Structure formats: structure tokens, C-alpha cells
């Protein structure tokens, strides 16, 4: 178990809501300050990690492009989890999602919370 403080961010907002940009921006900031960041995607939030979906998306002109923020989480070793029923409802399997994204139930998130993770929800 890592000694780093943990942060779990639940993202339920998709392409139609600027709060998704805020969530990914906060995830990036958390990583940059040394937090062990995990993302749990539910509802339309899962659309962000469908291969090719975030190309060109830029919800907030003062944030980096969504592709850059999502890629930073992946490149930094952040965990990105996707809700199984939410993925299934959209016809997504792991093959349709970015490499490294794991379809897993909320139990994985609960384990992080039991380890002391702070949580944010968007």
C-alpha cells in the first residue's frame, strides 16, 4: 500500500457539461501535488474514455484540452475505472476504451475509500 494520500474523483458528466472539465483539471492538479488519484466514471462520464471520443474536446477555454488532461492521468499512473452497467448501456467493452481503463464495479472504489481516500464527485 502506498503512503501517498489518495483521492477518488467520481465523474458522471459528459461532453455536455463543463463540470467534466473541472473534474479532470482537479485530477491533474491532485497528481501534480503528489496525490494518488483514481477516477471512477459513471453515466455519461464514461464517454470521455471511449477511444477517439475526446479528440478536439475543449469544454473550458482556460483548461487544457480534455485529451491532454485525460492522457496526463493515464501517463502519470492514475487509475481510471468505468462502471460496468454504464459501459454496457453504451455498448462499450474494454476494447472500445482507452488502454489502461478498467471496467470494474464500485467495490474497487470502496476499497480506496476504506484506505482513507478523499472523494469528490462531479
Residue ranges of E strands in the chain: 6-11, 36-41, 79-82, 102-103, 118-121
Q: How many residues are there in the chain?
A: 122
What domains does the chain contain, in order, with CATH numbers? 6-121 (3.40.1260.10)
> Binning pLDDT at 50, 70 and 90, where does residue 115 land?
very high
Output the pLDDT for position 2.
Answer: 60
The string of pLDDT tens digits covering residues 57-69 is 777 888 889 999 9
For residue 22, the surrounding DSSP H or E stretch is helix 19-32
Across 70-93, average pLDDT: 97
Phi, psi (deg, nearest 5) at residue 87: -65, -45
User: Mean pLDDT throughout 78-87?
Assistant: 97
Q: What is the C-alpha separation between 34 and 15, in angstroms, rounded? A: 28
Contacts of residue 68, defined as CB under 8 A and 6 or more positions apart, other chains included, come to none
pTM of the model: 0.93
| Predicted confidence (pLDDT) per residue in 85-96, tens digit | 999 999 999 999
Mean pLDDT of the chain: 94
Amino acid at each position: 500500500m502506498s503512503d501517498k494520500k489518495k483521492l477518488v474523483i467520481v465523474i458522471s458528466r459528459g461532453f455536455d457539461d463543463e463540470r467534466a472539465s473541472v473534474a479532470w483539471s482537479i485530477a491533474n492538479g491532485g497528481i501534480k501535488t503528489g496525490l494518488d488519484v483514481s477516477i471512477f466514471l459513471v453515466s455519461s462520464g464514461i464517454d470521455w474514455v471511449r477511444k477517439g471520443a475526446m479528440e478536439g474536446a475543449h469544454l473550458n477555454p482556460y483548461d487544457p484540452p480534455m485529451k491532454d488532461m485525460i492522457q496526463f492521468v493515464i501517463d502519470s499512473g492514475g487509475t481510471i475505472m468505468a462502471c460496468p452497467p454504464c459501459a454496457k448501456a453504451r455498448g462499450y467493452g474494454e476494447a472500445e476504451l482507452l488502454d489502461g481503463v478498467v471496467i470494474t464495479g464500485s467495490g474497487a472504489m470502496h476499497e480506496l475509500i476504506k484506505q482513507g481516500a478523499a472523494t469528490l464527485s462531479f
